[in-house]
Chains A and B, each alone.
Chain A
Amino acid sequence: MPPNDDISTFGATSTVIRLMKQQARGSLVAALLRSTAHDRFEAIVETTGDSPAKAGTLEDRPVLARAGSLLLDEASRPDFANQLANDLMDHFGAVFWVELSEQLIRDTSCKFDALGEFKRFSNVLSFIPELLWEKAALPSIVAESGTDYGIDALCRFAFESLRPNAREMFKNKFRGPESFPDFCAELLRDKMPGILNVLKAPPAFVAGIFSSVAALASYYAWVIAFDTAIRVGSVSVSGVGDFQFVAGRVVNRVDFVVDEAFLKLIQINAQKPPLPDEANPPSLVAA
């Protein structure tokens, strides 16, 4: 193992964004292969001498760098954006919930910006929601000094416009506590094409920028969908637990009932002792 200062550590939100950027690169490849630009993309793949030894960064991916013009062309096509949104949502849930369990195994809490904080106690997991619908504006999930701050601002601007009608959209079209990922995909399909369309970057940088957009837009769609579904009543995630909104006179709260297998997995693998039960705070927030 290298010295600790060589190891990068991020919070849960940053980790999910980083992992989704990686997944987005794969989704871009998949979307191009299924797009009208299929033949042109294959020609780039065939004529670009990628080094198989390299991996991870876009600088190591000359195929995607050369495909920038294709991505710009395809971004305006609804099919391409739909394909990309669906593909991203196929991955997001796994990335998100696995990161939750990893954080709770390594530590005693896991905070997802704009969504809420999970805490691990001896016999229970608590969830303290952010209750996004009570906030005037979507909070930023990227530091102002971050390279993606501009893209983050654009994504927030785009998704902000969905929030006033999100509840009605969800109630009209989606049913059941397990349907929020479908709602999330719909939000992403709705907004991502517009975001991609206004970005006119040099072709060599398009894939990198699109990956950041995909990751950040997925995250905002996710937290808005989750928040909306909870506001309407409840969210159920198989293998994780059930979230139930309880309106109160003074405070609203979200009751989280953890899936037994999920709790057991965390308890058996936990690398730190849990928080003592007596310090268990109520999962309440002021209305």
Chain B
Amino acid sequence: MSIETAFVLLSDLHFSNGLDEAARTQTLNIPFSNYGIPAKMTNLFEAMCRGHFAPCVKKLPRYLKVLLSELKDEGYQRDKFDLCILLGDQSTLAHERSYKLLRDYLTQDEYVSEDGDGKYIGYGLGIAASDILAIPGNHDKLLRSSLNLYHEEFTRHLRLDEEARPQMCSISIRRFAGREFVFILIEPSVYCAEDLKLGSDFRSHLAAGKISPKLIEDVETKLNMLREYGKLDAETKLEKTFNDAMKVLIVHYAVDERRFPPGRAQGIVPHQCDGLGELVNMLKREYQLSIALHGHLHHPLLYNFNGVQVISATTATRVDKGTKTGFFLMKVLDSGTIRAEHHLWTGVAFTPDPDKNLSRDVGYLPKRAIAA
């Protein structure tokens, strides 16, 4: 068995504004009085908006290089991962400085990190922007009425191909080692009414999503076109048939939140995405959806949702007591088997997760005769 394709799934990075900033000082970056946030919510925001843990961020590029070296021992031919999928909550407070740090971290081998004490060299993941697929999470539009800041500071800066829009989907077709993947990226977040104002409806928009009829229609329209005509536009087109491609849903919110233990913040602020389960059922029934990837709840899990394999990624770089920090590696073997493998932050290092339930086969996609 050799590995032909490898994706790394990074979720809920929750980047702060500075590399070495303490995760818990992010509360201080929120001007509570300006935003109309009452003092009694300080604890909630402190828990929700913690930033990345610097040692974790520093160790991840080093560990991914080790994994890449091990993949080569298993027959993988490339010097980089085929794809890096970001499952939302890239920034913890949707701030331009955090996106600048994240852009540098994701795409540079070395970058300069600056804080009040000086400038320092940081070491990054060095991933080409063309190899990144990203969707925003609820934190990427926290207390904002649109995704403008996220796109200006992240998507467009990196010139990512796909630009998520509220209650819309975008389709990305990628080919690796003779296999074709249709990635369906959806953005079902609920937004606040006015920029930087909490509002009385905060329970609906801080952490929750909702699948609207507009989103369903957009998904159906695009997938129907792809199935019937094999393309959406000049760039987004299939080499083979729709049936031959593996369909993968990418969404920030949990497909089935009942699978997860309720978190403290979830008790105060709803974290569910209304209608997502029904959408997944429809995508399975009508469009042969095989795999769904999500983040949001900071809980790694592999589960089956009415015939769809779901990979729930935890936060890759935030450290909270009682939750695992880590990420999934998805491998496609020459046999067509798709395997998910969880890797865990131990407090000192990343390591393969010993929990066998988090590393197993999640799909099968035989090779078709298309150009690699």
A50-B29, A269-B62 known; A8-B117 Cβ under 8 A: yes
Asked if B117 and A29 make an inter-chain contact with CB atoms under 8 angstroms apart, the answer reads no
Pick the contact of B22: A25, A43, A262, A264 (CB < 8 A).
A25
Closest to A49 in B: B31
Q: Is residue B20 contacting chain A, with contact meaning CB distance below 8 A?
A: yes
CB contacts (< 8 Å) of A56 on chain B: these are: 18, 20-21, 114-117
Asked if A46 and B38 make an inter-chain contact with CB atoms under 8 angstroms apart, the answer reads yes
Contact with B along A51-68 (1 / 0, CB 8 A): 111111111110110000
Contact segment of B168-176, B228-236, B288-296, B343-351: B343-351
CA distance A49 to B55 in the complex (A): 30
Contact with A along B331-372 (1 / 0, CB 8 A): 000000000000000111101000000000000000000000
Closest to A46 in B: B39
Pick the contact of B28: A39, A42, A63, A101 (CB < 8 A).
A63
CB contacts (< 8 Å) of B112 on chain A: these are: 1-2, 6-7
Q: Is residue B197 contacting chain A, with contact meaning CB distance below 8 A?
A: no
Asked if A261 and B46 make an inter-chain contact with CB atoms under 8 angstroms apart, the answer reads no
Interface of chain B residues 2 through 25 with chain A (CB within 8 A): 16-18, 20-25
Mostly helix, strand, loop or mixed at chain B's interface?
mixed
Pick the contact of A29: B24, B119, B348 (CB < 8 A).
B24
CA distance A55 to B29 in the complex (A): 8
Asked if A94 and B31 make an inter-chain contact with CB atoms under 8 angstroms apart, the answer reads no
Q: Is residue B324 contacting chain A, with contact meaning CB distance below 8 A?
A: no
Nearest CB in chain B: distance from A41 CB, A: 8
Q: Is residue B200 contacting chain A, with contact meaning CB distance below 8 A?
A: no
Asked if B43 and A33 make an inter-chain contact with CB atoms under 8 angstroms apart, the answer reads yes
A49-B34, A52-B30, A56-B117 known; A265-B53 Cβ under 8 A: no
Interface of chain A residues 62 through 117 with chain B (CB within 8 A): 63-64, 91, 93-95, 97-98, 101-102, 105
Interface of chain B residues 83 through 99 with chain A (CB within 8 A): 93, 95-97
Pick the contact of B119: A2, A18, A33, A58 (CB < 8 A).
A2
Asked if B348 and A238 make an inter-chain contact with CB atoms under 8 angstroms apart, the answer reads yes
Q: Is residue A240 contacting chain B, with contact meaning CB distance below 8 A?
A: yes
A-B interface contact total, Cβ < 8 Å? 164
Nearest CB in chain A: distance from B81 CB, A: 15
Closest to B34 in A: A49
Contact segment of B63-71, B187-195, B213-221, B247-255: B63-71
CB contacts (< 8 Å) of A64 on chain B: these are: 28
CA distance A214 to B96 in the complex (A): 30
Mostly helix, strand, loop or mixed at chain A's interface?
helix
Pick the contact of B33: A7, A47, A238 (CB < 8 A).
A47
Asked if B25 and A29 make an inter-chain contact with CB atoms under 8 angstroms apart, the answer reads yes
Closest to A58 in B: B116
Q: Is residue B121 contacting chain A, with contact meaning CB distance below 8 A?
A: yes
Interface of chain A residues 207 through 248 with chain B (CB within 8 A): 237-240
Q: Is residue A136 contacting chain B, with contact meaning CB distance below 8 A?
A: no
A52-B29, A52-B30 known; A27-B58 Cβ under 8 A: no
Asked if B22 and A265 make an inter-chain contact with CB atoms under 8 angstroms apart, the answer reads no
CA distance A101 to B111 in the complex (A): 18
Q: Is residue A158 contacting chain B, with contact meaning CB distance below 8 A?
A: no
How many chain B residues sit at the interface, stated as a range, is 35 or more
CB contacts (< 8 Å) of A269 on chain B: these are: 62, 65-66
Nearest CB in chain B: distance from A218 CB, A: 13
Nearest CB in chain A: distance from B70 CB, A: 9
CB contacts (< 8 Å) of A45 on chain B: these are: 27-28, 32, 39, 42
Interface of chain B residues 49 through 84 with chain A (CB within 8 A): 53-56, 58-59, 62-63, 65-66, 69
CA distance A56 to B120 in the complex (A): 13
Closest to B345 in A: A94
Q: Is residue A283 contacting chain B, with contact meaning CB distance below 8 A?
A: no
CB contacts (< 8 Å) of A24 on chain B: these are: 22
CA distance A245 to B99 in the complex (A): 47
CA distance A23 to B25 in the complex (A): 9
Pick the contact of A239: B16, B95, B348 (CB < 8 A).
B348
Asked if B53 and A94 make an inter-chain contact with CB atoms under 8 angstroms apart, the answer reads yes
Asked if A240 and B20 make an inter-chain contact with CB atoms under 8 angstroms apart, the answer reads no
Most chain B beta carbons < 10 A, residue from A30, A43, A64, A105: A30
Q: Is residue B110 contacting chain A, with contact meaning CB distance below 8 A?
A: yes
Q: Is residue B118 contacting chain A, with contact meaning CB distance below 8 A?
A: yes
Interface of chain A residues 239 through 268 with chain B (CB within 8 A): 239-240, 261-262, 264-265, 268
Kindly list 12 other residue pairs between chains A and B, CB separation below 8 angstroms, not including A18-B20, A25-B25: A2-B112, A7-B112, A7-B121, A46-B37, A46-B42, A56-B20, A98-B58, A101-B62, A239-B351, A268-B62, A269-B62, A269-B65
